[in-house]
Amino acid sequence: MPEKSSSVVWFRNDLRIDDNPALRAAIDHHQPVVALYILDEDPSVARPHGGASRWWLHHSLQALDERLRHIGGRLILRSGSSAEVLPKVIREAGADAVFWNRRYGRGERDQDAALKKSLRDEGLEVTSFAGTLLYEPWTVTKDDDSGYAVFSAFWRAAQASAHPREVVATPRSLDDGSTGLDSDDVASWKLLPTEPDWAGGLAEAWDPGEQAALKRLREFLANDLADYGEARDRPAEDGTTRLSPHLRFGEISPHRIWHEVHESKVGGSAPERLLSELGWREFNYSLYYRHDKISEANIKPEFDDFPWKKPDPEAMRAWQKGRTGLPLVDAGMRQLWRTGWMHNRVRMVTASFLIKNLLIDWREGEQWFWDTLVDADPANNAANWQWVAGSGVDAAPFFRVFNPVTQSKKFDPAGAYIRHWVEELAELEAPAIHEPTDALGAEEYPEPIVDLKKTRAEALDAFATIKR
DNA sequence: TGAAATGTTGGGGCG
DNA sequence: ACGCCCCAACATTTC
């Protein structure tokens, strides 16, 4: 072992140098430092990234490398099984310590635990940190150690349990320990689409990386937080934080957001409202922690008998491409396809439409979102789909069926969101645009592919068959 | 973080 | 002034 031994910081879902406890600990106590990211596509460890997420990951890794170079380091890229690659890099670097921020899926925890044990057995120092969640899922429990099944009780208990830790300072410099280590070229990972290259809209809409994330947070706090409570529901406005993909890849930490919201001068209920959205993220992770198969298995087992419609590729394709004839649904699905993101309210409407008007299994919708969302998150995406389906924990009751026309009149009254995303309807004015069926000028726009009233009734009948 | 059906109330038009 | 009807507005129930 070399005289001056180094440490490895294993980056996973924490692609930032700000408020990164693992990186901070390595720099403070164990220089020189090797920064490592491993592309491990073994599905038994973690769900492989979908297409839009791969695009984001490519740029996020480049951004992290830049940030590390800025402070004197660089990011080493390797691919393969983490269980083999991590020990290999440790040997090559002659490191005797490893630092990482924790992951929460079953396969991830198993892998991390096994690595921690085997590396410690070899005499290495291995330390893990809370970098991704405000509250570790095993710390927010009821008296019998089980997890909470109701969001409000969960969030109350979490907030009462402790304040989230302080943010740790952005390192100004590091002593790079990667000399002589090979790194893959990120381009060789082929994370970007080739043909067709559908990423143009993503590049227009997004700027991956922690600097853009911090900038957006500051802008939001200065300009948008005050009106968040109302504006967040109107998809035509930029009333939401749009931090979701940055959070997904850990380009910003929830701790950073939590503390800056608390320090903001904005009064009223908006700050609390925003924090409760972070709370839903924590809640979803606590469900994921206890239900590893959350994207595959109904949490409520009675939904296993739900009479979903036989596979209907035509309806599925109409939904995916935004050709359902329901303007708000189509606007949302096109925003998703073009930008890799959809406004939260419209996610609820489009999901409700797929599940309850088309009677298509929520898992098909969840998979589509997984492939097309830049913020596709193993906990949030699945838990939110189960929320809409009614099969989840503290989910919306199944009979809560969104009417896409009513929702559109209520939350996009002027039709600005629809007009922006559905070109065929761009000439239509407000009342007509919500139900353009016989409106003049709605060229080439499809008739609704289903009768809302009829399919709603059918969904309720279907649900009645699985009720005790 | 729902919508539709059903029930209730009260004001206004009208004979 | 009264009864009757209509209907909007709101409340409650149901899915």
Give the mean model confidence (pLDDT) for residues A211-236: 97
Q: From the C1' of C15, which residue's alpha carbon is nearest?
A: A399
pLDDT beyond 90 at A344: yes
Residue A321 near residue A445, CB atoms below 8 Å: no
Q: Which nucleotide is nearest to A151 (CA to C1')?
A: B1
To which H or E segment does residue A386 belong? helix A380-389
Amino acid at A256: R
- Say how far apart CA A340 and CA A105 lie, in whole Å: 24
Instruction: Say whether the peptide bond before residue A196 is cis (omega within 30 degrees of 0).
Output: yes
Q: What is the pLDDT of residue A444?
A: 87
- What is the spatial distance, in angstroms and rounded to an integer, between the CA atom of A451 and the C1' atom of C5? 34
- Say how far apart CA A300 and CA A303 lie, in whole Å: 6
**Among chain A residues 134-163, those with CB within 7 Å of any atom of strand B:** 151
To which H or E segment does residue A331 belong? helix A327-339
pLDDT band at A285 (very low <50, low <70, confident <90, very high): very high
A468, two tokens = 């005790």
Place of tokens 């924790």: A102
- Say how far apart CA A47 and CA A450 lie, in whole Å: 34
Q: Which nucleotide is nearest to A400 (CA to C1')?
A: B2
Strand B lies under 7 A from the Cβ of residue A280: yes
- Say how far apart CA A220 and CA A224 lie, in whole Å: 5
- What is the spatial distance, in angstroms and rounded to an integer, between the CA atom of A432 and the C1' atom of B11? 32
CA distances from A83 to A4, A39, A87, A112, A305 (A): 25, 12, 7, 9, 39
Q: Which nucleotide is nearest to A233 (CA to C1')?
A: B1
Place of tokens 């087992």: A301
Give the mean model confidence (pLDDT) for residues A331-358: 98
- What is the spatial distance, in angstroms and rounded to an integer, between the CA atom of A402 and the C1' atom of C13? 18
A427, two tokens = 């000439």
pLDDT beyond 80 at A443: no
Tell me, rounded to whole angstroms, the distance of Cα A96 from its chain centroid.
Answer: 33
Residues having Cβ less than 7 A from any atom in strand C: A 397, 399, 460, 464
Q: What is the pLDDT of residue A440?
A: 59
Q: Is A331 left (phi over 0), alpha (psi -120 to 50) or beta?
A: alpha
Q: Which nucleotides of B are covered by protein (CB under 7 A)?
A: 1-5
Strand-pair partners of A125: A97
Q: Which residues contact A75 (CB under 8 A, 6 or more apart)?
A: A11, A35, A36, A37, A61, A64, A65, A68, A183
pLDDT in tens, A84-116: 999 999 999 999 999 999 999 999 999 999 999
Q: What is the pLDDT of residue A195?
A: 80
- What is the spatial distance, in angstroms and rounded to an integer, between the CA atom of A81 and the C1' atom of B6? 62
- Say how far apart CA A447 and CA A330 lie, in whole Å: 12
pLDDT beyond 90 at A371: yes
Give the mean model confidence (pLDDT) for residues A313-339: 98
- Say how far apart CA A252 and CA A177 lie, in whole Å: 25
Domains of chain A, CATH where assigned = 6-132 (3.40.50.620), 133-165+209-290 (1.25.40.80), 301-464 (1.10.579.10)
Strand B lies under 7 A from the Cβ of residue A275: no
- Say how far apart CA A386 and CA A398 lie, in whole Å: 10
Q: What is the pLDDT of residue A4?
A: 67
pLDDT in tens, A3-26: 568 999 999 999 999 999 999 999
- Residue A378, φ and ψ in degrees, nearest 5: -60, -30
Q: Which nucleotides of C are covered by protein (CB under 7 A)?
A: 15
pTM comes to 0.96
Strand B lies under 7 A from the Cβ of residue A459: no
Residue A214 near residue A67, CB atoms below 8 Å: no
Beta carbons within 10 angstroms of residue A156's beta carbon:
13
DSSP-derived secondary structure letter, A224:
I
Place of tokens 């002593």: A175
Q: Is A58 left (phi over 0), alpha (psi -120 to 50) or beta?
A: alpha
Average pLDDT taken over every residue of chain A: 96
Q: Which nucleotide is nearest to A399 (CA to C1')?
A: C15
Q: What is the pLDDT of residue A5?
A: 87
Q: What is the pLDDT of residue A2?
A: 45
pLDDT beyond 60 at A1: no
pLDDT beyond 70 at A160: yes
